[in-house]
Copies of this chain bind each other. A is one copy, B any other.
Amino acid sequence: MAASYTVTGIDGVPLVEPGDDLAFLLISAVDAQAVRPVDGDIFVIAQKVVSKAEGRLVALSSIEPSPEAQRLAAETNKEPRHVEVILRESREVVRSRRDVIIVEHRLGYVLANAGVDRSNVAGAVDDETVLLLPEDPDASADALKDRFDAHWKCSVGIVIADSVGRAWRLGSVGIAIGAAGVAALRDHRGDRDLFGRAMESAIACPVDAIASAATLAMGEADEGVPAAHVRGIPCGLPTPARTINRSKSEDMFR
């Protein structure tokens, strides 16, 4: 019998507000769902609820756009104060054109709008509030793991997932922007294939695959399923998600 695993969305999580104890809210929802976590289970948590609990909201009324933000806003047809927030979250702009700003985030992630989001944010209906990525998503994952492990008396993996666009291919997929207790990358180089030949180039990114798998159970828009429970995937040797970022000097697409 081959390997099998299960992905279950965690619902019943109330709307998260700044300052909320996210670990408590998630633990309560999991316990209410009669999932009993065991060693090696992985929880994938949407970036948005982590950011909200950490109070990573910015009121655009508090923002004064710089001349650079005004210039980029004009080029891209975006809101100048939103662009200013994006620039403050970024090391550099990688590409820009109408409706699109792709940056290297200060944490090393290459993504649109520095992950600064206007949807599913309370108050955003009047376009006045935006949500940043967590300050340090790997640290956020570590903190959630400590709370989960203590509550359930086992060792779980934590993945903080965002949905991002990609070069070359349409449509967003999930990636891991934070991880604890789970391998971000797995190096198969030197493993033997079915014919005993060493694999040529085989570094895999299981934690991005886990994030993508979880988004299939979490939905995108109004489903209100901010987390998923994954059982049956080996966690591997834990490494933080930031190790997935390719350095600029090694990246042919920057």
Contacts and interface: CB of A to CB of B under 8 A. Distances in A.
Contacts of A196: 125
Given A173-B208, A252-B102, A4 B6 contact: yes
Contacts of A4: 6-9, 217
Interface stretch (A19-27, A65-73, A137-145, A161-169): A161-169
Copies per complex of this chain: 2
Contacts of A185: 170-171
A193 B222 contact: yes
A107 B196 CA distance: 31
A121 B217 CA distance: 35
A232 to B, nearest CB: 8
B7 A2 contact: no
A172 interface: yes
B220 A199 contact: yes
A215 B220 CA distance: 22
A154 B164 CA distance: 34
Query: What are the nearest 6 A-B pairs in CB distance?
Result: A171-B205, A2-B9, A213-B213, A167-B253, A191-B221, A110-B168
